[in-house]
Structure formats: structure tokens, C-alpha cells
Amino acid sequence: MASEELIGASATSLIKRLGRSEITPLDLLDALEARISAVDPLVNALPILCFDRARDHAKALMKKPMAERGLLKGMPVPIKDLTNVAGVRSTQGSPIFADLVPDASDVMVEHLEGEGAIVYAKSNTPEFGAGANTFNEVFGATLNPYDTRLSAAGSSGGAAVALATGMAWLAQGSDMGGSLRNPASFNHIVGLRPTPGRVAHSRGGRLDSSLGVEGPMARNVEDVALFLDAMSGDDPRDPISKPRPATSFHAAVLAGKKPLRVAYSPDLGITPVDPEVAALTRRAAEQWSSHGVIVEEAHPDVHDAYEIFQTIRAEGFAIGMAGLLRDHRDALKPEVIWNIEKGLALRMEDVANAEAGRTALMQRVARFFEHYDCLLCPATIVPPFPVGERYVASCNGVTFKTYVDWLLIVGVATLAGCPALSLPCGFTASGLPVGLQMIGPSNGDAGLLAHAHHLEGILGLDTVTPILPRVLA
């Protein structure tokens, strides 16, 4: 099979070919290395490559019987540069760790390699994943392939761009304030934030934190589901991790279940939204009406999400990064300094009120899903913006107070402990991607993926074939 044909194929089809020995992991690595050489200088998505390590792992895997090669059978996967891979440079987008080479991998990476994943690259991320625009002082900015003057979003921006441009078939990312969903929206791919605990990972800072999760990205829903199967499973080193479900996510997607009743909201009642984004997401949601699905305009009561999200997020920054502020203040970007200091200034009363408020919000959202199978809204409130703007400062006439205010629409699912997915749903008049956020009830990952697969088929968007970057002056 020609390299170009491999690059354009879906992950699911390639894993089947790997399982039949029609191709080898080395064939895929060769195709990727050529594609990255041609494309990545235009977008800067994969700044760290480890093809020697990848080929060594691939050759070792190929010595095993096919039944022992895991779910992925030798599928190459890039890992976000917030996550340690043994023997591979791991910077977290920070000058503080610019030369760090860890001896051990994250639990999540161990699980993936146990399922036959071959790690060949680290994907670019903002400093410590903060800010939802992928730039840092170590590697610079990752550029949007639909217009290289624009942001790829973040923090899994490098992963999303690698997928969109054919430098990956599957990509791992992480999500606190939309970091799997915002870049998926900006790059016309699929990104899933799973239910907390679905994917085991190494714990740092607060042991029981459920704001940040690891999750899968791909160019279509079926590939995301298959990748989630490989990522899922419990581990004693992650005390909130969940066992792998009896029925695979891939099987749930292929079963073709559609929802009975869904809700759509342009803004969840809490945020401004660009009118074109609102119109495109509404149009996509309403497509379900002609396929026997009841679509109603509604949303749960999340009026206090802003203060809750700001407080609990800041608390996490203080717990995890106070030492960095003390020892390396001059090396931190101003947004990170602000967030740590905000957390350190919190009173116990602030934290108690936020945690109690979050619990009440989760309960209201759970009751909402007693009446609706899925909640639909924009994944990101704006189309891709100029990469030189550090963050979105205003939207539809509203000026934001902080650098994370524009992320509130994705923060709701984070607070509620719900799985949430960004599905490509169309393009603006200027040809920029827009994503529809699909939110399901907590632990409803399989149903959410099945619903997304159904809507994906209705929308008929080409989410498999990668593009070449559009370099515009």
C-alpha cells in the first residue's frame, strides 16, 4: 500500500490490516516519518520525535503472536507533551523542564503500550496545558492547518493538528477546561473527554481530582471509540480509575443506537457565543429532527458554574504548582502565575462553597439527563482566532475578565463529571471548522459515542481524509 493511501486511511481499517499482517507497524512508521518531514514544518504540531525508540518497540512487538499484540496491534500514537514517556524528552511546554528526560512512563502510557501502541512523537501543548492556545517558550506556536495564521486551540493542540494533517491516526490528549474538545473543534476532528476515572493515569497534586482527565482524539467517532477501549481500565496507582466495561465502546458505536430525546442550547445560559457558531451548531442539532429524534431547546441550571470552575481550578493550580511559583517564578508565563496566586489566596470558605456548589450542580445535571439522552451546544464559542492573541478576550460584545472565561461552555461538563465530545459540524463562511459539543450523563460514555456516531452519519462530513496546511500570508 502506498504511503499516501496509508496516511488517508482510518485507524480502524489500519488496525484490521495490522491484525491480518497485511501491513506492519514499521510500514506505518515509515509513512508517518515522511509525512511529518513534509508537513510539520508548516504547523509545528510534533516538536519531539522518537522514531528510533518506536522502531525498537515495533520490532519487539512483531516478535509476539498476533493474539498478544493488544487491541492496537502496533498502531503508532503520539503522546501529549504533558505526559511522561520513558526515555523521551518531556518538557510540559516549560523552560523549567526543557531538558527533562524521564526514566518512567505515565501509567496511561504503560497501558497504551501494553495494548500495542507504538509511541513515535510528543505533541505540542501550552505551558503546563494552560490557556487553550498552543504556544510555549520551548517550541513556539502550533498553527491551525485550515489557516496557519490562526490558533489550533489547546491544550491538546499539537495532537489535533497532527490528526487533521495526517501526521497521526490516533492521538492522546488531556482535558480540564476543554483541552480535548476545543482543539477538536478548531481542527475538524473528534475529541472525547471521558467520564473521570475511565482512563487511569499517574496522579500528581490532589489525589482524587476529577477535573483533569486523559482521553482519545481521532478523525472520526469509530476510531475514537476503539482508542478509548485501548486507553480504558483500572490501575491500583490511580484510586479513582474504573474497570474496563464488559461491552467495548467500539461495539457500542457499531450497534448504531440513536437517542430518543436531546436538548440543544446555544449558550447553556451562561456565556456569549459567536452568532455564526451558534447558527452552525443549531443547524447540526436540528438535523436529528428528521430522523425521529426529538430535539428541544433546553439546558440544566448551571448558573453558578463560573465561580465554581474558577475556584476549583485555581485550587488545583495552587496544590500542584505552588512550588514552581516559589522556585521558578521568572520562568512561568503570566497567566499561570495569576492562576497559582489566585489559588493561594483562596480561603477555606471559598473552597468549601465551591465544592458544595459543584455537588449541587452535578445533581441538577444528573436530573436533567433523566429527561434527555444528550445535551448539545457549541464546543467552542468562537471560530479559530489569530494565533498571536494569547486567548479570547471578548465575544459577541462581551469583554472577559480572565484568560479562561471563554472556556466556560466546556467547563460545565468538567464540573458535572460528564463525558463530552466535540463533533465536527460544519464550516464558517470563511472555511473555518466549528465543533458541536455533545454531553452525556456521567458514566454514559458508550451511549454518547453511539449517539455521536449516528449524528456523524447524518451530517455526512468528511472527518477521515487529512488535509495539507493552508499557509496564508
| Domain spans in the chain, listed from the N-terminal domain onward | 3-459
For residue 63, the model assigns a pLDDT of 98
| Low-confidence winner among 83-87, 96-100, 126-130, 208-212 (lowest mean pLDDT) | 208-212
Ranges assigned E (strand) in 8-115: 48-49, 76-80
Contact 61, 156 (CB under 8 A): no
Average pLDDT of 317-337? 96
Residues tagged active-site: 80, 155, 179
Q: What is the percent of the chain where pLDDT is above 70?
A: 100
Cell triple for residue 142? 502550533
CA distance 200 to 458: 33
How many residues in total does the chain contain?
473
Instruction: Say yes or no to pLDDT of 289 above 80.
Output: yes
For residue 256, the model assigns a pLDDT of 81
CB atoms within 10 A of CB 60: 10
- Is pTM beyond 0.95 here? yes
Average pLDDT of 252-262? 94
CA distance between the termini of the chain: 36
For residue 446, the model assigns a pLDDT of 98
Average pLDDT of 230-252? 97
For residue 2, the model assigns a pLDDT of 74
- State the pLDDT confidence band at 473, using cuts at 50, 70 and 90: confident
Average pLDDT of 204-214? 88
Average pLDDT of 196-207? 91
Contact 186, 169 (CB under 8 A): no
Instruction: Say yes or no to pLDDT of 462 above 80.
Output: no
Cell triple for residue 68? 498478544
For residue 204, the model assigns a pLDDT of 85
Instruction: Say yes or no to pLDDT of 1 above 60.
Output: no
For residue range 211-229, what is the model confidence (pLDDT) as tens digits?
999 999 999 999 999 999 9
Q: H or E stretch including 61?
A: helix 51-62
Q: Which CATH class is domain 3-459?
A: alpha beta
**What amino acid is encoded at 105 in this protein?**
S
For residue range 422-457, what is the model confidence (pLDDT) as tens digits?
999 999 999 999 999 999 999 999 999 999 999 999
Q: Are strands 420-427 and 190-193 parallel, antiparallel or unpaired?
A: antiparallel
Return the sign of the alpha-carbon dihedral for residues 273, 274, 275, 280. negative
- State the pLDDT confidence band at 463, using cuts at 50, 70 and 90: confident
- State the pLDDT confidence band at 347, using cuts at 50, 70 and 90: very high
Cell triple for residue 263? 436538548
Q: What is the percent of the chain where pLDDT is above 90?
A: 96
**In whole numbers, what is the pLDDT of the chain averaged over residues?**
97
Single out the residue of 144, 133, 52, 39 nearest to residue 93, CA to CA. Answer: 133
Beta bridge partners of 427: 433
* Cα three-residue angle 9-11-15, rounded to 5 degrees: 110
- Tell me the C-alpha to C-alpha distance, in Å, between residue 56 and each of 15, 53, 64, 116, 190: 19, 5, 13, 13, 30
Considering only residues 24 and 208, tell me which one the structure prediction assigns the higher pLDDT. Answer: 24
For residue 11, the model assigns a pLDDT of 98
Give the DSSP letter string of 201-222: ----SSTT--S-EEEEEESSHH
For residue 209, the model assigns a pLDDT of 86
Contact 239, 207 (CB under 8 A): yes
Give the DSSP letter string of 293-315: -EEEE-----TTHHHHHHHHHHH
Contacts of 129 (CB under 8 A, 6+ apart): 82, 92, 93, 154, 155, 174, 176, 179
- State the pLDDT confidence band at 206, using cuts at 50, 70 and 90: confident
